[in-house]
Amino acid sequence: MEFPDGNVENETPNGVRSSSDGEEGSFAGRFRQALGAESPHAFANRVDISNTMVQKYLKGAEPGLDMLVKIADGTGVTLDWLARNRGPMRHGTSQHVVVAEAGLPYGFVPVPRIDIRPSAGAGSVDLYEESEPDILAFREEWLRRIGVSPKFARLMMAKGDSMRETINDGDLMIVDISIREFIDEAIYVLVYGGLVRLKRLQLLRSGILLLKSDNPRYQTEEVPLAEQQELIIGGRVRWAGGAI
């Protein structure tokens, strides 16, 4: 099975994408959008904020200035956008730039765009880099800050609405392809049942692996221990945003 243009199937039950208007109208909505594919718990651990406080902010509590700065730095968004919904969400040219093959700006590294396909053999996936005239480059320091080594960073495009509002149809994602097994609850690109999927994974104490969608219209799938060898992880999503 092959997905052209590096798209990852993110199923759409009725072929209609719902609008997310109003998501930026509150701090909680902007914070949720800034988190992207990262779970609140993982963000709290990474930036040394209590998980309780992160959950309060996501439910509507307003942080003080010191915490605003910490959250803005941790998520890579601008302080003015996070606090007041003014200006760009991110410093457009400070994190990514499209350049010709002739060279890259200082401090930037190329991030290839890939297509993921299920391999014909069991227990693996094939990663195909696309050859395009332009290279999308990101600031190396920013890639490391979101938790991915530039060597293993790859761009993919999401398709469908099963992960809306976290990842929307057409969003570009930075995927860490060095992670090829379940580590903790996060969003992964995976192959299961002959399909390339974009799902949040959670491992229960019973050993059952849950494939969860952030869109409540989709049911959670259970993968019993006996079938988990059929589930192949292609990488962990580290960042997702609108088309560039």
172/96 Cα distance (integer angstroms): 12
Whether residue 18 is contained in a domain is answered as no
Model confidence band, residue 1 (pLDDT cutoffs 50, 70, 90) = very low
Q: Where are the alpha helices (DSSP H) in the chain?
A: 27-35, 40-47, 51-58, 65-75, 79-84, 92-95, 140-145
**What is the domain extent for residue 181?**
1-10+23-244
| Proportion of the chain above pLDDT 70, given as a percent | 75
State pLDDT tens for residues 50-59.
999 999 999 9
223/232 Cα distance (integer angstroms): 12
Model confidence band, residue 244 (pLDDT cutoffs 50, 70, 90) = very low
Output 140 or 93, whichever has higher pLDDT.
140
Q: Is the pLDDT of residue 112 over 80?
A: yes
CB atoms under 10 Å from CB of 109, counted, come to 16
Q: Is the pLDDT of residue 133 over 70?
A: no
Whether residue 15 is contained in a domain is answered as no
Number of domains into which the chain is organized = 1
Exposed e or buried b for every residue in 20-53, given b needs 16+ CB within 10 A? eeeeeeebbbbbbbbbbbbbbebbbeeeebeeee
Q: Is the pLDDT of residue 171 over 70?
A: yes
Q: What CATH number is attached to the domain comprising 191? A: 2.10.109.10
Which pLDDT belongs to residue 79? 80
Q: Which two tokens stand for residue 57?
A: 């902010």
Closest listed residue to residue 34, CA positions, set 234, 243, 212, 239: 239
Output 100 or 17, whichever has higher pLDDT.
100
191 φ/ψ angles, rounded to the nearest 5 degrees: -120, 125
Whether residue 146 is contained in a domain is answered as yes
First-residue to last-residue Cα distance in the chain: 27
State pLDDT tens for residues 21-44.
345 578 998 898 888 778 888 888
Whether residue 16 is contained in a domain is answered as no
Which pLDDT belongs to residue 86? 79
Q: What is the mean pLDDT of the chain?
A: 78
Q: What is the pTM of this model?
A: 0.59
161/149 Cα distance (integer angstroms): 28
Q: Is the pLDDT of residue 105 over 60?
A: yes
Model confidence band, residue 175 (pLDDT cutoffs 50, 70, 90) = very high
72/190 Cα distance (integer angstroms): 30
Output 46 or 7, whichever has higher pLDDT.
46
Model confidence band, residue 104 (pLDDT cutoffs 50, 70, 90) = low
Which pLDDT belongs to residue 237? 93
